Amino acid sequence: MRSPVLALALVGLVFGARQPGWKDHTEYVYRVDGRSLTSLNELADQYSGIFIKAKLHVSPRSDGKLQAWISESQYAQIHSQMPNGWNSEIPESQLNFKQLGLSKKPFQIISQNGLIKSLVVEKDVANWEANVIKSIVSQFQLDLQGKRAVESHATTLPNDEKMEAVFQTMEDTVTGETETNYDIHQLPEYLVDSQPWLVPQQQLQGHGKIYEVLKSKNYTTNRAMPAYQYGFGEVQEGKPTGNRMGDFLTRSALSRVVLTGQLSKYTIQSSQTVNKIIINPTLNGKQRGSAVSSLNMTLVEVKSQTKQPQEMSSPIDIGNLVYTYEHPFASSNKVQRKLQGKDLASGESEEHTPRGKRSLLQSIKKSILGEHTEANSEEQVQYQMRPQMEESPESPLLPYYMGYHGKSIKANSDFDVKETAQRMSREISDDLAEPDQILTQSTLSKYAMLVSLVRLMNQKEIRAVTQQLYKPEQQQQQGSWMTFRDAVSEAGTGPAFLAIEEWISTKKAEKGEAAELVASMANSVRVPTEEYMQKFFSLTQNPEVMSQEQLNETSVLSFTRLLNKVYAKKTESQNQFPASSFRSFYTKDGKDFVKTVVIPYLSQQLDEAVMQADSRKIHVAIRALGSVGDKKVLEAFEPYLEGQKQASQYQRMLMILCLDKLVESNPTTAQAVMYRIYQNVGEVPEVRVAAVYQLMRTNPSAQMLQRMAQSTNVDAQEDVNAAVKSAIESLSQLEAAESQS
């Protein structure tokens, strides 16, 4: 069996055989300048964010790798007017730079023909520092030879005689592995003369030329996309991780790299990437906000190097350049080894490799990955562990989860999340006692912060705060308790669910109060794991819940609406919940749970309510079944719609109306059912009219509408004819593109 160390060494030899962008025995020093700013820039020129600066030192090694280290890393916060926009020049005298805290330890870059394959860092480097390194090194990611180019009639690849090219690739950088459009062309001399900072070391040009490489990312087409999204289930167009999501969000990234030399030997003079996210906070408003990140690298010095770069003491390969999620609650957040099976197993490496080297690559694959190198595409993407019910989820990319050296702010020994939650609950309660002071005291911002803090808390921590604030005998403490109670209901985590369940069991919350908490909790769920959904289902069957009419009805209806969000439509489920972070919650086991457990239970509840002639329970059961949105619900309604079981005409009509969620999730099935009911001239008009209106929401064809219009000439039920006429006329006046057909 080959040693993994030997295998990695072979990888370095194969991937690092050629370094066309770097000269042996030379050290390249780049100045790094970055900024990340947010603003509602259409309302004001006020920007908030951070600036960073550093120096990057890069030297080629004799084994074909690049060795680098970062020095003089600093950052500065800013909250200031920037009249000329996000790119305004800010004098350093106006910025208070502080040490960024990078370790200055060397790291290695494994690349092939300029295409970076992986990074090697010291094993005691923190994960957040590794991500900073990835963001900087991503500026050097260049596929100038089009090794990963996607075949297209518009593709023009560079060659030794002509470097100009246009092509598409799949390329990994810190923001993900995405489709990337390349445009390589020669830079006019007049542009270089007018913008000398693009080519700061022009003496290195030699007999070569100056080229500009423009790269634009298509985030919509991606293989790996680090992201955290929540609450976009109702946005029909696009996805949160794509270039565009309806009228709410647009995203773009453009890189500009300036080279001197030629394809076989060049120097990277400067590189800048600008990533923009434009947001419409109110959806229907014209004012937009922006989040802009820019990273600029400029070659400031090139000097001879007389000795080999120092060896790393404990190297560890952390894989490609894609951002790696933090583990906010781990005792140690050091980097971990990540073998890129996809890269080693890709056909691209073999297509452009001679047969002798192909066999070498195959042996490397078997040494590192074993015999089975064809992994499932989902397994190539990183995901966080699904949380246990009593623990907070390890949500990535959120400030309270990674804001303290890459870990949760709970890791700060000077911060006590329980005491802070108590203090903020009291502050908010005091603010609410004087409503005219809510704006000046930023009470809503405080409440949003409190909810975020509760999301960090586990079951024991929420219970401890509950014991401190829930004191019904002390009237002055009631405001603090209610503030914390409401924040827990909006946290959307497993510990928050367990707390509310415990409050109901111990009668800390009951009747209308408990019903409001459950409804709010269901609307706020962040990580609806199968365990969470099963616990929620059990809550609806809790004797304490079922004994309180309002609470019972609310819990059942809230639960089935949540089921619909999670399991009815895959796309909406993935947009609503953080599927990019925890895998999709739209699972086979979850859907089986709905079909084999929930729907039969609700169907039984409906049958029992009908036998008891309890109209209120009947209506709740019908609405709950309809909210699930699965076509198996039809089996529960069919005996009543077909007359096999007794139900009033109103209840039968209500069943049709409550199939609205099925219409949304499975319009094809719903259309067939509704059309059959509409065609049944022996059915009562109320049921047929309800079917007509539901049918119109299934995007019926022009031929179906024509048949329905012709039927009005012979149909004896005028109410039905009027409904058909009204619906068709309304459809003809719609402007939406999908309705024009």
CA pair distance 592, 659, nearest whole angstrom: 20
CA Rg value for the chain:
31
pLDDT band at 734 (very low <50, low <70, confident <90, very high): confident
Amino acid identity of residue 709, one-letter, is A
Per-chain mean pLDDT for the chain: 88
DSSP state of 150: P
* 14 — pLDDT class (breaks 50, 70, 90): very low
Query: Mean pLDDT across the stretch 202-221?
Result: 89
Are 609 and 617 a contacting pair, CB within 8 Å? yes
Say if residues 590 and 683 touch (Cβ distance below 8 Å).
no
pLDDT-based confidence at 660, cuts 50/70/90? very high
User: H or E element: which one contains 279?
Assistant: strand 265-279
> How many other CB atoms are there within 10 angstroms of residue 382's CB atom?
16
* Model pLDDT for residues 531-551, shown as the tens digit of each residue: 999 999 999 999 999 999 999
Q: Any idea what the Cα angle at residue 279 is, between residues 275 and 280, rounded to 5°?
A: 160
Taking residues 107-113, what's their average pLDDT?
Answer: 92
**Any alpha helices (H) in 106-228, and if so which ranges?**
127-137, 189-194
Instruction: Measure CA of the first residue to CA of the last residue in the chain; give whole Å.
Output: 63
More confident residue, 129 or 247: 129
| Helix or strand run (H / E) with residue 105 | none
Please, which pLDDT band fits residue 114 given cuts at 50, 70 and 90?
Answer: confident
Does 740 score more than 70 pLDDT? no
Determine the pLDDT at residue 97.
94
For residue 211, what is the enclosing H or E element? Answer: strand 209-224
- pLDDT score recorded for residue 76: 96
Residue 5 has a pLDDT of 46
Q: State mean pLDDT over 37-46.
A: 85
Q: Is the CATH number of domain 589-740 1.25.10.20?
A: yes
pLDDT of residue 92: 86
Mean pLDDT for the stretch of residues 699-726? 93
What backbone phi and psi angles, to 5 degrees, belong to 39? -170, 150
pLDDT, residue 372, reads: 35
Whether the CB-CB separation of 121 and 335 falls below 8 Å is answered with yes
The pLDDT confidence band at residue 359, using thresholds 50, 70 and 90, is very low
Distance CA 9, CA 2 (A): 11
The one-letter amino acid code at 152 reads: S
**Which range (54-68, 274-288, 508-522) has the least confidence?**
274-288
Instruction: State percent of the chain over pLDDT 70.
Output: 90
* 251 within 8 A of 276, measured Cβ to Cβ: yes
Bridge partner residues of 80 (DSSP): 47
Q: Which tokens go with 671? A: 């259309």
Lowest mean pLDDT of 75-79, 116-120, 346-350, 733-737, name the range: 346-350
User: What is the pLDDT averaged over residues 409-431?
Assistant: 95
The pLDDT of residue 255 is above 70: yes
Instruction: Give this prediction's pTM.
Output: 0.87
CB of 566 closer than 8 Å to CB of 573: yes
- SS3 assignment, position 686: helix
Confidence of residue 202 (pLDDT cuts 50, 70, 90): confident
Three-state DSSP class for residue 696: helix
Phi-psi region of 538 (alpha: psi -120 to 50; beta: other; left: phi over 0): alpha
- 40-54, 264-278, 723-737: which range is least confident on average? 723-737
Whether residue 268 is predicted with pLDDT greater than 70 in this model: the reply is yes
Q: What is the 3-state secondary structure (H, E, C) of 234-267?
A: CCCCCCCCCCEECCCEEEEEEEEEEEEEECCEEE
Helix, strand, coil in percent for the chain, rounding step 5: 45, 20, 35
What is the average per-residue pLDDT within 309-326?
A: 92
CATH class of 26-318: mainly beta
The whole-angstrom separation of Cα 105 and Cα 312 is 9
Q: Does the structure show a pLDDT above 70 at 352?
A: no
Domain ranges for the chain = 26-318, 589-740
How many other C-beta atoms lie within 10 A of the C-beta of residue 626? 24
At 380, the pLDDT band (50, 70, 90 cuts) reads low
pLDDT(365) > 50: no
Confidence of residue 15 (pLDDT cuts 50, 70, 90): very low
Checking if the pLDDT of 435 tops 50, the result is yes
Band of the pLDDT at 678, cuts 50, 70, 90? Answer: very high
Q: What is the pLDDT of residues 561-619, one digit of tens each?
A: 999 999 999 999 999 999 999 999 999 999 999 999 999 999 999 999 999 999 999 99
Tokens of 400: 């309270």
Confidence of residue 373 (pLDDT cuts 50, 70, 90): very low
3-state secondary structure of 156: strand
Distance from C-alpha of 691 to C-alpha of 695, rounded to nearest angstrom: 6
> How many CB atoms within 10 Å of residue 739?
13
Q: Which amino acid is present at 482?
A: M
What's the rounded mean pLDDT across residues 232-239? 85
pLDDT of residue 735: 64
Q: pLDDT (tens digit, 9 = 90+) per residue, 130-149?
A: 999 999 999 999 998 888 88
Q: Which residue has the higher pLDDT, 192 or 619?
A: 619
Tokens of 668: 């094809």
Percent of the chain with pLDDT strictly greater than 90: 70
Q: Which residue has the higher pLDDT, 377 or 320?
A: 320
266, 150 in Cβ contact below 8 A?
A: no
Give the lowest-confidence range in 171-180, 286-295, 442-451. 286-295
The whole-angstrom separation of Cα 237 and Cα 245 is: 6
Position 345: which residue type? Answer: A
